[in-house]
């Protein structure tokens, strides 16, 4: 496929919008050009234009559905209509294992089921009753209350009710004002959830941890990803203090401040809490990516560099060698099938970046990548944060200021060691997605239905990695789409064995003859002048 004059072809697609929409959307789309002297910038974290069919979710989805939802020992009570609770009930496939007599509530959907009368007269009485029933039936140590849009509109004081319930039942009860309309999208919900965890949960436990202790932040155990990471890290000799939050427990999060190092997998959903823990407890965070063979190897070696222990480094190399010997032949088999194929990615969180590495391991070329709800630093790197203007929705979300905890703050590295490591590994830093993309690649923020159809028409990728709402656009175009928000019914895809699972699923999807029986829409209509062909 030729990439010459691709900028003009992208512009021709966007020019089909009305003038006002074109002016907005062109700032959310760029073509990577390595010849530019100055870094390329992209507009992100702004509200979607009304009327455009976006694939984004809401603030509540980010708070309850992404960050809090995977915790298995807490009653997570949706205060709102039943549809909101049902929307976040098991759809992400956050798996959890019960160990011994631990509480596992992942299969339950807790909701106050507000009706029209409750909206008119208030739902506080119903919320109090729901908390009472949940405590009596399940006897949890933690209850989280997540508000949806009507609650914010009618003014139920969920925080006062949470404080009253905590005093009455002697357990931790925390309310999150994560009404769906707050923030730009899911990202606002992530922020609200992280603020609540750092204020009310983290730092309240006293678990004794070992020397090589880790928190894994931004890993949601979709399809069992977190279990694969635990297997590898424990094989090397690390202790996992807490998983935020896949297969995680609120009880474990209470002692997260005791760990030596925080690993950040999904930068967008969890970077807030990584930074706050760095300020409050002195814990460094290391940006990792366990999606892809080479990325996993690089991340494991970077972790070992941080701890700077010869025995730990030796065990790391031995585990890498053992894992590679096991998966090498089968990965080569799938690489032979997929080499030369092309892909486009539009996924939430950091997945549009992470999965580029795994696809490249398999010889797949990336034509387009973008996020549903990223900020500019997810695209361009954290060095641009000081230049990012506050968005219009920031007034709706608490900006939590933290300071060093006098009891628990620790210095883990000398100043000299810290400065040396910063030049070797991504310590307290994320470089963003754009820097690692090839020249001529398209980067799109908040890709919508129309643009999805047009870019698939222009680029004709062999694979479209997406979420549940947009995968069918590709299928109707005769293009295989791999759903990366919940992996459909597969996984894990993280780590070494996960890479094999992903390669198998992609190879099966691409080679199935079903796509030959689908006639893409652009074969039924006149081609857009200047489209890329062949």
Comparing CA positions, the residue from 430, 440, 436, 475 lying closest to residue 368 is 440
* 443: phi then psi, degrees, rounded to nearest 5: -115, 125
- For CA atoms 78, 79, 82, 83, the dihedral sign is negative
Residue 350 near residue 378 (C-beta atoms within 8 A):
yes
Q: Phi/psi at 453 (nearest 5 deg)?
A: -60, -40
Q: Of 290, 55, 26, which Cα lies nearest the Cα of 185? A: 55
Catalytic-residue membership of 92 = yes
**Residue 440 tokens, joined:** 């001529």
SS (H, E, C) 142-200: EEEEEECHHHHHHCCCHHHHHHHHHHHHCCEEEEECCCCCCCCCHHHHHHHHHHHHHHH
Assigned token pair, 354: 């992470």
Among 9, 25, 72, 190, the active-site one is 190
Of 28, 56, 58, 374, which one is the catalytic site residue? Answer: 58
Distance CA 278, CA 281 (A): 6
Contact predicate 261/287, CB 8 Å: no
In whole angstroms, give the CA distance from residue 425 to residue 403. Answer: 26
Which among 92, 268, 357, 382 is annotated as catalytic?
92
146 noted as active-site residue: no
**47 noted as active-site residue:** no
CB atoms within 10 A of CB 478: 18
Per DSSP bridges, beta strands 29-31 and 442-445 are antiparallel
Half-sphere exposure (Cβ direction) of 117: Cα atoms closer than 13 Å: 2
Strand partners, 342: 365
Q: Which helix (H) or strand (E) holds 334?
A: helix 310-338
Q: How do 172-176 and 142-147 pair as beta strands?
A: parallel
* Per annotation, catalytic residue among 44, 59, 61, 503: 61
Tokens of residue 311, six digits: 């025995």
> Collapsing DSSP states into helix, strand and coil, what is residue 444?
strand
CA distance 488 to 482: 8
* Site of tokens 């890993």: 219
Task: Kindly provide the residue ranges of all beta strands, DSSP E only, lying in 199-267, ordered along the sequence.
Answer: 213-219, 239-245, 261-264
Is residue 331 within 8 Å of residue 500, measured between CB atoms? Answer: yes
Is 61 annotated in the active site? yes
Closest to 184 measured CA to CA, from 381, 375, 434 = 375
Structure tokens at 327: 């998966």
What are the φ and ψ backbone dihedral angles of 222, each rounded to 5 degrees?
-70, 125
- As annotated, the active-site residues are 58, 61, 92, 190
């Amino acid at each position: 496929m030729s990439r010459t004059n691709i900028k003009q072809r992208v512009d021709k697609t966007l020019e089909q919008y009305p003038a006002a929409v074109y002016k907005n959307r062109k700032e959310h789309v760029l073509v990577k050009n390595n010849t530019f002297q100055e870094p390329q910038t992209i507009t992100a974290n702004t509200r979607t234009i009304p009327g455009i069919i976006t694939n984004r979710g809401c603030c509540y989805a980010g708070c309850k559905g992404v960050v809090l939802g995977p915790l298995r020992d807490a009653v997570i009570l949706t205060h709102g209509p039943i549809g909101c609770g049902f929307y976040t009930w098991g759809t992400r496939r956050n798996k959890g294992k019960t160990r011994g007599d631990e509480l596992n509530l992942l299969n339950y959907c807790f909701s106050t089921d507000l009706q029209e009368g409750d909206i008119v007269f208030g739902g506080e009485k119903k919320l109090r009753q729901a908390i009472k029933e949940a405590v009596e039936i399940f006897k949890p140590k933690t209850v989280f209350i997540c508000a949806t849009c009507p609650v914010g509109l009618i003014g139920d004081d969920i925080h006062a009710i949470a404080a009253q319930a905590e005093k009455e039942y002697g357990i931790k009860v925390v309310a999150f004002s994560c009404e769906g309309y707050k923030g730009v999208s899911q990202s606002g919900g992530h922020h609200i959830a992280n603020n609540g965890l750092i204020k009310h949960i983290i730092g309240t436990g006293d678990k004794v941890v070992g020397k090589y202790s880790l928190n894994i932040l931004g890993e949601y155990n979709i399809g069992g990803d977190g279990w694969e990471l635990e297997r590898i890290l424990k094989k090397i000799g690390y202790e996992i203090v807490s998983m935020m939050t896949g297969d995680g427990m609120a009880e474990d999060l209470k002692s997260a401040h005791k760990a030596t190092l925080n690993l950040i997998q999904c930068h967008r959903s969890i970077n807030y809490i990584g930074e706050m823990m760095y300020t409050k407890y002195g814990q460094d965070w290391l940006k990792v990516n366990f999606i892809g063979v080479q990325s996993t190897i690089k991340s494991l070696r970077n972790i070992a560099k941080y701890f700077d222990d010869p025995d730990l480094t030796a065990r790391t190399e031995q585990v890498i060698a053992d894992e590679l010997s096991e998966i090498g032949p089968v990965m080569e088999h799938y690489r032979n099938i997929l080499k030369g194929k092309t892909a486009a990615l539009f996924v939430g969180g950091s997945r549009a970046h992470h999965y580029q590495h795994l696809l490249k391991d398999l010889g797949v070329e990336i034509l387009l990548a973008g996020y549903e709800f990223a900020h500019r630093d997810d695209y361009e790197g954290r060095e641009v944060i000081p230049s990012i203007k506050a968005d219009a929705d920031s007034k709706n979300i608490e900006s939590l200021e933290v300071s060093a905890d006098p009891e628990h703050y620790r210095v883990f590295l000398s100043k000299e060691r810290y400065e040396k490591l910063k030049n070797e590994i991504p310590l307290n830093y994320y470089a963003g997605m754009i820097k690692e993309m090839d020249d001529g690649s398209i980067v799109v923020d908040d890709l919508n239905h129309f643009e999805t159809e047009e870019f698939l028409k222009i680029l004709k990728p062999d694979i479209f990695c997406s979420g549940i709402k947009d995968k069918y656009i590709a299928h109707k175009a005769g293009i295989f789409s791999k759903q990366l928000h919940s992996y459909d019914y597969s996984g894990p895809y993280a780590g070494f064995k996960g890479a094999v699972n992903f390669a198998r699923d992609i190879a099966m999807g691409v080679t199935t003859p079903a796509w030959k029986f689908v006639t893409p829409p652009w074969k039924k209509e006149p081609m857009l002048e200047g489209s890329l062909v062949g």
